[in-house]
Amino acid sequence: MKFLVFASALSAAMMVTACGDKPTEQASVSAPEADIQQTTYVGCYTIDKDTPASIQISLKDGKYVMQMKEDESKAQVWDEPEPLTVLAKSDGWKYFSTNSINLSMSDVAGEIIARPDEVLAIAKLHETSANTNPMLDSHYAVSLMGAVNTIYQVACDDKRISLTSEFHQNK
């Protein structure tokens, strides 16, 4: 089932990227590599893969920003974008160094993004790490208020949620 979901998400991502603008002749050789790195974290995430997206990461003026879903009682679905800091793996590892999911610095694929208040950090993991470590069932790890776990990249949605019932009833 996990493979089917992953394959569907991968197919959708490939179709979306296939529709993008073609690179110009003037683009340098490293430009596609930079684009891949810059969009590594763009998308929506949830702590429980069976719940709607609760975090949205996008680019604003070429920098990562994060939005959290508001409670269904609020007028808007997502809160205002807040800037994220991009950290070198060696600097961002401090968020993940103590964990119970057998994560090592070599599992992290590159730069780590974090909120400036240090409440949340997200790391993209190497595919091989996610496939070989039985504690990892996602290609992303999150440090949320010091607790490290996997986080799931899911389809973005505007589904209204009740923050008190969605995440406290073990749905």
What tens digit of pLDDT does each residue of 102-127 get?
A: 999 999 999 999 999 999 999 999 99
pLDDT mean over 45-66? 93
**Would residue 28 count as lying in a domain?**
no
In order, the DSSP letters of 6-17 are: HHHHHHHHHHHH
pLDDT mean over 83-111? 96
Is the whole model's pTM more than 0.75, yes or no? no
CA 155 to chain centroid, in Å, comes to: 11
Give the Å distances, CA to CA, from 102 to 69, 108, 141, 146. 30, 12, 11, 15
> Average pLDDT, whole number, for the chain?
79
**Would residue 70 count as lying in a domain?**
yes
Q: In the prediction, which pLDDT does 17 show? A: 31
Q: In the prediction, which pLDDT does 165 show? A: 64
User: Which residues span the domain enclosing 75?
Assistant: 38-159
**Would residue 10 count as lying in a domain?**
no
26-49: pLDDT as tens digits: 333 333 334 445 678 999 999 988
Residue 23 has pLDDT above 50, yes or no: no
Comparing C-alpha atoms, which of 83, 129, 122 is closest to residue 106? 129
Q: In the prediction, which pLDDT does 50 show? A: 87
Cα–Cα distance, 119 to 144 (Å, whole number): 6
Nearest 5°: phi and psi at 94?
-55, -30
Q: In the prediction, which pLDDT does 160 show? A: 85
In order, the DSSP letters of 81-104 are: -EE-EEE-HHHHGGGTSS-SS---
Q: In the prediction, which pLDDT does 38 show? A: 65
Comparing C-alpha atoms, which of 158, 160, 156, 157 is closest to residue 42? 156
Share of the chain above pLDDT 70, in %: 73
**Would residue 52 count as lying in a domain?**
yes
**Would residue 17 count as lying in a domain?**
no
Cα–Cα distance, 95 to 92 (Å, whole number): 6
Residue 65 has pLDDT above 80, yes or no: yes
Cα–Cα distance, 132 to 151 (Å, whole number): 17
Q: Between 94 and 38, name the one with better pLDDT.
A: 94
**Would residue 14 count as lying in a domain?**
no
Residue 80 has pLDDT above 90, yes or no: yes
**Would residue 116 count as lying in a domain?**
yes
How many structural domains does the chain have?
A: 1
Q: In the prediction, which pLDDT does 41 show? A: 96
Cα–Cα distance, 89 to 109 (Å, whole number): 8
Q: In the prediction, which pLDDT does 169 show? A: 52
**Would residue 77 count as lying in a domain?**
yes
Which token pair is 53?
């997206």
Residues 6+ apart with CB under 8 A from 161: 51, 52, 54, 69, 71, 72
